[in-house]
Amino acid sequence: MMKRISGRVAFLIIGAAVLVTVLLGWFAFIAPQRSKVAEFDSQVQSTQTQIADAQRLLTGPTRRDSLASLHKLQGVLPDQVKMSQILRQLSSVATTSEIELDTITPQTPTAVGGEEAVPMTVAVVGHYFAIQRFLRLLRASADVRNGHVIGTGRLYSVDNIQFTGGQPGGVISASLTVNGFVYTSVPAVAPATTAPSSTGATAVGN
Amino acid sequence: MQAVNLLPLEYRPAGRWTALGTGLSPERVIPIGAAVAGVIALALAGVYVRERSVVNDKQSSLAKEQARLVAVNSQAQAVRDAQTQAAAMTTAVDSVVAGRMLWDSTLGDLARVLPSEVALTALQASAPVASVPTAPVATDTTATSSTTTPVTPTAPTPPATTFTITGNAPSHVRVALILDRLALLPWLSDIALQTTSRLASGSVQFTVVAAVANNGGH
């Protein structure tokens, strides 16, 4: 067999076989590994970038600011009614504005969007401008200025005021509908109020 | 004149490539070629093994980095949660603050516009949009009905009159001045005199109604 092929042909066959071996070895075995290396390199880089971002979040001022901001907001909009805190704050504001708190009558909390309002009927006695100061301090207890929540107390709103004068020394008695607010993380659905059965109103109609 | 080679083809001197391998015998070429191919195959195998080990190194380093990322992310998640909650709470505070009535401003405005010698004896005012939706009371006075109707609190609609003041003025002209001055307040609209009556003391008692147009923020 070997004698039948010339040296030249044998040389060419061997050359071709070597070339095929090199090409096959490179493209079938080595090139895929090199492409895997490049792929892993890019994944490692992307992971390192994510780690750097997360570490920046943990070590930079963002973490401190976020937690401080959340802490402040939890004071402004607590997740529980905390009526004792409301009483203390209303008393403090009343004392500062030189009015007297007569009665505070809380009503059933009502869901309003993402928070819950706790309506209270607050009766106060004082001068007109003292009541005005009371309302100003109540508003300043928690306010928003330039997109930042400011104030040292809870969030309040007043829906209704009515007063009657006539007392000696210009003192007036005012009744205010004040709302305190409670944060509920999930927007609460307004509870359906069931009107009481009208059987009890039989006597009214007659 | 051009030279002409008259030798037969097989006797002519060969070109560089055409002569390649002509002097080799297959008995020599094949073992040498096989040895060269073996060496090349071994070299390729070596390169493959090296690349494979690099891949393994990269894979293990990726696994380490991913484990680190999971650990760091679990700590960072608390901060992200805090940011999300703070943003939601800020939005909630914003919505309440934007809608609440600035009663201190409105009472200050009212005190400024009321003429001298006019005293208010009663005031009743409601915010145009209440923070708390009011549940309409279902009243049924029929003797036989016993149906229970669920009532859902509805978004408040501003009542026609949300502002009423009652007071005493020295004269009707002064009451007219009150109406003119109240008309200057940007947060009041539909100002109307409800009643006036002269008292035994000679002063005029008046009642003025209006609608609160906005939250008093001007």
Which of B102, B120, B131 is best to mutate for the A interface (most A CBs within 10 A)? B131
Tens of pLDDT, residues B69-85: 999 999 899 888 988 99
Q: At B66, is the pLDDT very low, low, confident or very high (cuts 50, 70, 90)?
A: very high
Task: Please give the Cα distance from A131 to A125 (Å, whole number).
Answer: 8
Residue A134 near residue A124, CB atoms below 8 Å? yes
How far is Cα A142 from Cα A178, in angstroms, rounded to an integer? 14
Nearest-CB residue to B101 (from A48, A57, A158) = A158
CA atoms within 13 A on the CB side of B119: 14
CB contact under 8 A, A131 and B107: yes
Partner residue facing A34 (CB), from B21, B51, B124: B51
pLDDT at A11: 80
**Is the interface score ipTM higher than 0.85?**
no
**SS3 state of residue A179:** strand
Residue environment code for A120-136, b if the CB has 16+ CB neighbours within 10 A, otherwise e:
bebebbbbbebbbbbbb
pLDDT at A15: 85
Residue B12 vs residues B4, B18, B19, B20, B27: alpha-carbon distances, Å: 12, 12, 11, 15, 26
How many percent of chain B have pLDDT more than 70? 78
Percent of chain B clearing pLDDT 90 (strictly above): 46
Helix residue ranges per DSSP H, B22-166: 26-99, 103-113
Q: CA angle, A89 as apex, A78 and A112 as ends, to 5°?
A: 40
Determine the Cα–Cα distance for residues A141 and A46; give it in Å rounded to an integer.
Answer: 46
- Please indicate whether, in this complex, the C-beta atoms of A110 and B102 are within 8 angstroms of each other: no
Cα separation of B58 and B128, whole Å?
66
Cβ distance of A67 and B79 shorter than 8 Å: yes
A chain contacts of residue B152, beta-carbon cutoff 8 Å? 190, 192-193
Q: Which of B57, B100, B154 to mutate to test the interface with A (most CBs of A within 10 A)?
A: B100
Tell me the per-residue pLDDT of A165-205, one tens digit each, with 9 for 90 and over: 767 778 899 999 999 999 986 544 444 333 333 333 333 33
Q: Give the type of residue at A57.
A: L
**Rounded CA separation A190/A166 (Å):** 41
Nearest Cα neighbor of B128 from B161, B106, B154, B152 is B161
Q: Which residue in the block uniquely carries the two structure tokens 């939890």?
A: A74
Mean pLDDT calculated for residue range B96-122? 91
**Contact between A11 and B104 using a beta-carbon 8 Å cutoff:** no
- Is residue A135 over pLDDT 90? yes
B2: closest CA of chain A, how far (Å): 33
Query: Taking 60 as the threshold, does the pLDDT of residue A206 lie above it?
Result: no
The more confident residue out of B30 and B126 is B126
Does the distance separating the beta carbons of B151 and A165 come in below 8 Å?
no
A19-33 pLDDT tens trace: 888 898 899 999 999
SS3 content of chain B, % helix, strand, coil (to 5): 45, 15, 40
Are B104 and A190 a contacting pair at CB < 8 A?
no
